């Protein structure tokens, strides 16, 4: 599949935390393909969400390494560029609220808004919760399994 693939938090969490998950092998194959093709991206909000989930299991040094080397580890672009000294990218409250009106949680609305604003040329969005994003993004939402099926 050509084009940039935006990857949701759930995919990274399965890889980093749930090695015995029934979807781990498919998840790993998806991430390996994205890394080989260098065709993946995720938002700084997703990265912070990954760090937040893992903050209960990792020490401070491990969390900092995860944050700063995440892009290299997965060969994905993080948009906008993560910088601890920077300010979170501005998104209009009205835009977020318009997404929430479509029956979307705040966290998912933040991901949708960031994807639409910072990766307007993305080809697809991949999440284990793809159904949460169907009809809420201007691009198709797929699970890693669906992505691999379409790409084989």
pLDDT digits (tens, 9 = 90+) for 34-72: 999 999 999 999 999 999 999 999 999 999 999 999 999
Q: Is the pLDDT of residue 87 over 70?
A: no
- Cα-only R_g, the chain: 15
Q: Is the pLDDT of residue 128 over 80?
A: yes
Q: Is the pLDDT of residue 139 over 90?
A: yes
Q: What is the pLDDT of residue 94?
A: 87
According to DSSP, the β-strands at 5-7 and 124-126 are parallel
Q: Please, which pLDDT band fits residue 120 given cuts at 50, 70 and 90?
A: confident
Domains of the chain: 5-151 (3.40.50.1010)
Q: What is the pLDDT of residue 85?
A: 64
Task: Kindly give the interhelix angle for 24-37 and 144-151, rounded to the nearest 10 degrees.
Answer: 60
Q: Is the pLDDT of residue 92 over 90?
A: no
CA distance 60 to 65: 9
Its pTM stands at 0.91
Residue 77 DSSP code: E
CA distance 50 to 148: 23
Percent of the chain clearing pLDDT 90 (strictly above):
74
Q: Can you read off the two tokens belonging to residue 148? A: 């691999």
Maximum alpha-carbon separation in the chain: 42
């Amino acid at each position: 599949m050509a084009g940039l693939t935006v990857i949701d938090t759930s995919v990274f969490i399965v890889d980093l935390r749930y090695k015995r998950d029934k979807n781990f092998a498919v998840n790993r194959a998806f991430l390996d393909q994205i890394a080989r093709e260098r065709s993946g991206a995720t938002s700084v909000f997703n990265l912070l969400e990954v760090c937040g989930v893992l903050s209960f299991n990792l020490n401070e040094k491990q969390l900092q390494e995860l944050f700063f080397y995440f892009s290299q580890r997965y060969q994905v672009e993080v948009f906008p560029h993560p910088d601890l000294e920077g300010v979170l990218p501005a998104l209009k409250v009205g835009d977020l609220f318009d997404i929430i009106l479509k029956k979307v949680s705040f966290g998912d609305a933040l991901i949708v808004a960031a994807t639409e604003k910072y990766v307007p040329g993305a080809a697809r969005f991949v999440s284990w919760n793809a159904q949460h994003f169907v009809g809420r993004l201007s691009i198709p939402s797929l699970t890693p399994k669906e992505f691999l099926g379409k790409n084989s």
